[in-house]
Structure 1
């Protein structure tokens, strides 16, 4: 490939969720469809996932989880502000509501994030190359400050800032998703000064909200890449074309490939959710390894890479 116009990290989220997810992610990596994974260390099959990453040399980071399943930190498993009366995290919207009501202890968030990094290191033998948040919890008010401090202290260089160009011109997104994604974007924008202050980096462009599940197709990914290339470099990463004046755009595409979970197998302690058991995961897997998408990358001079390559 001639000098790339874009270095693209394609991150398979929720690694460790269930054996079917793990296998789908490995198959996708081997087909050239993803270049990086994000591990849920409190998921039922996290150890299997970490072993698979080692065996297949898959670059791996941490998908910090404060919203689904059981805490990793043992002192928080009984009674804590992070969990409900059953000992489970409050859920995607439940965590946000508890945070808005001022009912979440940031000291406990700090304890849990550090426990998850420690467990990641136990499973993989190294610190994560990058760390993001399951269901985008890492950009939420108050949490973002704690999250940034943890990354800074442990010298984890990269995170994810989910601000997607083209998000507001997607008529196919249902209203409830458009509302949620718009709020995620607002939180992410408010996180930028915090992450900047702590010296944390992220790719120039983020993609993935508009191409999740059935919304993923080669044309929708082509549209997303066009938006990313048009947005251009932002200066938060240092990649530039060696021997050339043309800077290279760095981008992350968040994806969720896998085979549909079997009922009662997987999850983070409560069993797999509906999205995981649906055909959406398999659909993403099929699109990501479609030869026409891989040809599009080549045609557009998009080079897949991992966070450690940026």
Structure 2
């Protein structure tokens, strides 16, 4: 049985080093899709270049890092001192039920408009930076906007894995996927049959761990089964970039380069053949 594999690189537009790694992986045939941050330091330049070289680009909806596109004073439940709150504080407010869904809708519409103004088209898929789109309050507003805009595809990061190996924020994300899947489906928003990426991020990405993730998550029942592999290739950040509040620790570590090197390895290419994985993009679904 053949499987249709989308290799989606997150965080296009974060900085020049990230963009360079993503573009090189695409030109080498090692990724097939990506998601751009509307508020990244190089986002517009990166989005335009991606379209020039034929790299499909979705939107990486951001509610946690850097400066919003809407005036911060219009987002009092999402910002402080002009910036988003960061992942952990955002999640605390989500759990407390103190995030305003009207503000979420406004910021999502602003990020979609940014994409449209540059490209003249809507993104074919939208996912969430740090998986905010599957969280309570966000997922309802998110699904409603995608339905009204006619955007059919998103990511469902529902990976079968040893959750004890995941950070607390990722464990929370996993716990929200079932409810999110029902809301997305109810709004006509689709997602791939399977997903991997949480258990193989950064230094955890090896041929052994990818093999294990594929074995655990490929259902082996559906014809033309689809699976998304979330990846984060890029060169180590030199200190510039981010979304308005500077680069994060992950971008300044060697883990991005490790992922890039794994994706460009002969072993990963062979593994795709062993699992009969046919690489495609969201545009081709």
What's the TM-score once normalised by structure 1's chain length?
Answer: 0.88
2:235 match:
259
Distance 1:296 1:253 in 2: 13
Q: Deviations over 1:146-194 (max 9, x none)?
A: 00001001111001111102x12x77x3xxx343322111111111111
Distance 2:37 2:54 in 1: 18
1:139 match:
134
Q: Is the counterpart of residue 69 in structure 1 residue 58 in structure 2?
A: no
Aligned counterpart for 2:178 among listed residues 181, 189, 200: 189
Distance 2:121 2:149 in 1: 11
Is residue 241–residue 247 contact of structure 2 (8 Å, CA) maintained in 1? yes
Q: Is the counterpart of residue 82 in structure 1 residue 78 in structure 2?
A: yes
Task: Give structure 2 stretches of 5+ with no counterpart.
Answer: none
How many residue pairs were aligned?
285
Moved over 4 A (4+): none
1:232/1:253 Cα in 2 relative to 1: closer, same or farther (>3 Å)? farther
Q: Deviations over 1:118-160 (max 9, x none)?
A: 0011222311110010001001111100000010011110011
**In structure 2, the residue corresponding to 1:96 is in which secondary structure?**
helix
Task: Give structure 1 stretches of 5+ with no counterpart.
Answer: 234-246
2:30 match:
33
**In structure 2, the residue corresponding to 1:26 is in which secondary structure?**
helix
1:287/1:230 Cα in 2 relative to 1: closer, same or farther (>3 Å)? same
Distance 1:25 1:129 in 2: 19
Q: Is the counterpart of residue 16 in structure 1 residue 13 in structure 2?
A: yes
1:284 match:
259
1:155 match:
150
**In structure 1, the residue corresponding to 2:79 is in which secondary structure?**
coil
Distance 1:154 1:110 in 2: 12
What's the TM-score once normalised by structure 2's chain length?
Answer: 0.96
The offset of 1:230, in angstroms, is 3.9
Is residue 99–residue 137 contact of structure 2 (8 Å, CA) maintained in 1? no
1:108 match:
103
**In structure 2, the residue corresponding to 1:303 is in which secondary structure?**
strand
Is residue 79–residue 87 contact of structure 1 (8 Å, CA) maintained in 2? no
Aligned pairs for 1:52-67 within 5 A: 52-67=49-64
The offset of 1:201, in angstroms, is 0.4
Distance 2:48 2:127 in 1: 21
1:79/1:183 Cα in 2 relative to 1: closer, same or farther (>3 Å)? closer
Distance 1:7 1:79 in 2: 39
Root-mean-square deviation (CA, aligned residues, Å) is 1.5
